[in-house]
Amino acid sequence: MNPIRKKRLYLIGLMLGGLGLATFLALKAFDDNLMFFFPPSDVVAGKAPKDHPFRVGGLVKVGSVERDGTHVEFDLTDNAETIRVAYDGILPDLFREGQGIVATGTLAGPRRVVASEVLAKHDENYMPPDVAKTLKTAHAEGIKGMREAAR
């Protein structure tokens, strides 16, 4: 390669390297701000803001949903800590037990959030209902088999 082109290539490489580093440091510094929601563990640990609304995300605990008209209360967990979420309004179609959700709300106690909005997350798995059902039974049978083998 002739020297002028080489020099240009180096300069561009240097520019991109510097830019990449600067971006990395900036993103690193704002890491917490780039998180869309707090997991329940952070809320329990007191990391969530106490005086203004924030978002909390996790899984809706199976069997914890209590409905009374449009008022709904449920447990939200990240499998480490659990908090109670209260909400008044219409839930998205994908809201169901065991499903991931993100709620916007304020703290009303150490483990209680009053939400003004509930959004449903969906996962990255795509399959027809019968496959999902087969997987679920296979999983349950697998666990049963393992328990029996351990006995």
Partner 1 sequence: MGIKRFFHQMGSPQYFYRVAGLWIPWLLGASLLLLVIGWVDGLVYAPTDYQQGDSYRIMFIHVPAAWMSMFIYMVMAFSGLLSLVWRVKMGEVIAVSCAPIGASFTLLALATGSLWGKPMWGTWWVWDARLTSELILFFLYLGVIALYGAIEDRRVGARAVAILALVGVVNIPIIHYSVEWWNTLHQPATITKLGKPSIVPSMLIPLLIGALAFKLFFFATVLMRARNELLERDRNTRWVKNLLEAEAK
Binding stretches for partner 1 (CB under 8 A): 5, 8-9, 12, 15-16, 19-20, 23, 27, 31, 34-37, 39, 57, 91-94, 99, 102, 117-129, 131-133
Q: How far is the CB of 138 from partner 1 (least distance, A)?
A: 14
Query: Which residue's CB is nearer to partner 1, number 3 or number 109?
Result: 3
Closest listed residue to residue 13, CA positions, set 5, 23, 25: 5
Query: Which residue's CB is nearer to partner 1, number 8 or number 71?
Result: 8
Query: Which residue's CB is nearer to partner 1, number 126 or number 151?
Result: 126
Write 61-64 long-range contacts (CB < 8 A, 24+).
61/97, 62/97, 62/98, 63/97, 64/97
Q: How far is the CB of 100 from partner 1 (least distance, A)?
A: 9
Question: How far is the CA of 35 from the CAs of 26, 66, 136, in angstroms?
Answer: 14, 29, 31
Structure tokens at 26: 């900036």
